[in-house]
Structure 1
Amino acid sequence: MARITYIEHGGKEHVVDVPSGLTVMEGARDNGIPGIEADCGGACACSTCHVYVDDAWTDKLPPKDDMEVDMLDFAYQPDPDRSRLTCQIKVTDALDGLVVRMPEKQI
């Protein structure tokens, strides 16, 4: 299990425990966190679960695969270093303390 902090664009924080094996997107969905829409349900077929990973975590996450990189091209104001699709980040104990920030909107 990992404690993950989701920060809405306006600054409101949601700190939740997410079981290992789920994705960061599923943790948001299961806890009713606004700002992550996940229209494709986690199939990496859209960019509506886009977040900006806190700088302290960018090098601690597994690298983006080619499909995620392609989908991030459709995200709202993607950042080459910090943008990730939460459906592609599998939760492990090593992610305890992860902080992600939602963009102004999802597209």
Structure 2
Amino acid sequence: MQDVTIHITDREGMKHTVLAPTDMAMNLMEVVRSYELAPEGTIGVCGGMAMCASCQCYVNSEHELNAMDYEEDAMLAEAFNVKTNSRLSCQIPISEALNQLEVELAPEV
């Protein structure tokens, strides 16, 4: 499988179904940016280094994701609007395991 289907709810509540390539070493934040699902300059401000939480999302499906590392956990501890299902989308690599993933972009702060 080269592309996976991901369901993304943007910050206005609009649902989008997008295709994400598994063979380009992309992360979920880059997919959101490539489909322009958030205004320019409001997501991935740090460039995907887990240093700003602007790409926080809520994982609304039961997918098995990669483990959260220390940097991501520390950044979420300082972020606003954090929920138990919060993740930084820049820290979620696109893989076949994410097919049919459902996420919602956290509000911009």
Bin the TM-score by the shorter chain.
0.7 to 0.9
Shift >3 Å, 4+ stretches = none
Cα drift, residue 55 of structure 1: 4.1
- What does residue 7 of structure 2 align with? 5
Unaligned runs of 5+ in 2: none
- What does residue 61 of structure 1 align with? 65
Cα drift, residue 104 of structure 1: 2.4
- Name the Cα RMSD after superposition: 1.5
Question: Are 1:90 and 2:96 an aligned pair?
Answer: no
- What does residue 71 of structure 1 align with? 75
Q: For the residues of structure 2 that align with 1:47 and 1:104, how far apart are their CA atoms?
A: 11
Unaligned runs of 5+ in 1: none
Residue deviations 1:53-85, cap 9 Å, x none?
A: 01423xx11110010000112322111x30000
Cα drift, residue 27 of structure 1: 0.4
Residue deviations 1:33-67, cap 9 Å, x none?
A: 1176110111111100000001423xx11110010
**How many residue pairs were aligned?**
103
| Residue type at the aligned position of 2:81 | Q
TM-score by length of 1: 0.87
